[in-house]
A and B are shown apart, each in its own frame.
Chain A
Amino acid sequence: MTARLVVEDLRVRYPTPSRVVDAVRGVSFAVSREKVGLVGESGSGKSTVGRAILRLIQKPGEISARVLSFDGIDILSASDATMRELRGRRIAMVMQDPKFSLNPVMTVGRQIREAWRAHARGGRHAAERKALEVLEAVKIRDPERVYRCYPHEISGGMGQRVMIAMMLVADPDLLIADEPTSALDVTVQMQVLAILDDLVTSRGLGLIFISHDLNLVASFCDRVLIMYAGRVVETCAADRLNDAAHPYTRGLLAALPQVDREPGPLPVLERDPAWLDG
């Protein structure tokens, strides 16, 4: 039985002096050994869902849910020690931009060693071996060289692979990737996705892929959740996205320029207030 994330009626709210902002309003889904895409425009709440799963919502933000559990552990009531054990070790997160997420004054090797030693026992040599092993797992051609590099000495695509390597070192069961390839060129993006794809297959990882890019998510994931204003308005099998029924999903697809479409004005999304609740 694989570890499974269950989210039911997840809500995140931020009380501000003037009003309460409901960032996530009743999101439900489950993830096991599969690639699930969370798609939406800015402000739709997709990243907040990713952070809420790891209980990384800063005060005064509040999380509530009917069920929020991973492998039977209730995330909302778990102790801080249990959460520390869960974060990184069992559920890892990859952020958008390696430039801002890697420590600029620490070599790549040392950062990966540090990540490993936070979760496992072992000496420096064991850590070094493990670090080189994960760098190889993300298909870095010369792991020994990259191990000794500082983040500014490697390219963006390489940096993103290093971030993924750092997550892998603790051998998690679920990976939350928040726009992991948005800062990358399309060909590099493709290579990084191939690595994620292989990891899901070979290690039996679950993957939550958060992105604004509907086409990319549809081509990469198994299932897609479309978010609008803090709610999931539609869930589709990725290969059936063209059969999407919700007007928001259809509007987004229509507004997206396509290489093979005849030129002409693009259909513009008319936002219907009813989508906020329906």
Chain B
Amino acid sequence: MLTLDALDVRFGSFHAVRAVGFELPAGGSFGLVGESGSGKTTVLRAVAGLIQDWSGRIVVDDEVQGATRSRHFHRTVQMVFQDPYGSLHPRHTVDRTLAEPLRIHGRSEVGPRVEAALRAVGLGPAFRYRYPHQLSGGQRQRVAIARALMLEPRLLLLDEPTSSLDVSVQAEILNLLRRLREERGLTFLFVSHNLAVIAQMCDRVAIMNQGRIVETAPVAALRRGALHEPYARQLLAASKGYDRAAANALTTYD
């Protein structure tokens, strides 16, 4: 479904992504995890076509990607962003937000499709003519997921989709994503700083630091704590909560 090979991204003199490569089979769920500045979101944005200056190979569905993205690409790949407060147009109703991709791609039966999408993400038809400010954070993220699903894509790029949500709402959104993936056979590229969320949602994980993938492992190995690379081990230890001994042992991996 997605192959990255020797992906490099530079912002001026800053080398944000260095030689990142991995393969994501159709139906798989791949997690990219790392701290701020590790380059995980930049990888996602490069795949989505939101970054112009990259080098290397991005292959989606056997189609080698260049500087621009085709209409077919956008029907195949869609993205969900971290902040549902920022990613929905504040003055467009839910209906307009969800209908827009359909109109751009010349789909028919816009109304029924919008209603079906709302139902699929667990929102009733009553939400159709509301504005984002009339929704809670969890409801907004459901709308953002519905929008990403409007064109029936096969690959979803998820950029920290639950990081700004409360724990109880996060569980609902993660369950929704899991269910949609099972029902529709979706492929996920899931970016998060939270190893526990990745362990819950993915089957493989790549740990990034300073623009590089330092270790790739099956999630089962992550659950057993069987990571080998020192930075990856440290990240795993730190994500298990506060521990005075672990705090003393912290090293900076530059």
Contact = CB atoms under 8 A, between A and B. Distances in A.
A214 B167 contact: yes
Interface stretch (A6-14, A15-23, A90-98, A249-257): A249-257
Interface stretch (A26-34, A56-64, A112-120, A264-272): A264-272
A185 B250 CA distance: 13
B167 A259 contact: no
A268 B172 contact: yes
Contacts of A235: none
A194 B234 CA distance: 16
Interface stretch (B15-23, B66-74, B217-225): B217-225
Given A257-B196, A261-B200, A193 B247 contact: yes
B44 to A, nearest CB: 18
Nearest to B196: A257
Nearest to B178: A265
A187 B223 contact: no
B197 A257 contact: yes
B174 A266 contact: yes
B225 A260 contact: yes
A128 interface: no
B171 interface: yes
A266 B200 contact: yes
Interface stretch (A69-77, A142-150, A215-223): A215-223
B166 A257 contact: no
Report, as a range, how many residues of chain A touch the other chain: 35 or more
A216 B241 contact: yes
Contacts of A186: 35, 193, 235, 238-239
Interface string B222-254: 111100000000111011111110111010000
Contacts of B241: 215-216, 218-220
Given A219-B243, A260-B225, A269-B171, A189 B238 contact: yes
Nearest to B38: A185
Contact of A42 (B166, B171, B242, B244): B166
A242 B132 CA distance: 37
B175 interface: yes
A107 interface: no
B223 A262 contact: yes
Interface of A: 41-42, 156, 185-191, 193-194, 197, 212, 214-216, 218-220, 251-252, 255-263, 265-269
Interface of B: 35-36, 166-168, 170-172, 174-175, 178-179, 193-197, 199-201, 219, 222-225, 234-236, 238-244, 246-248, 250
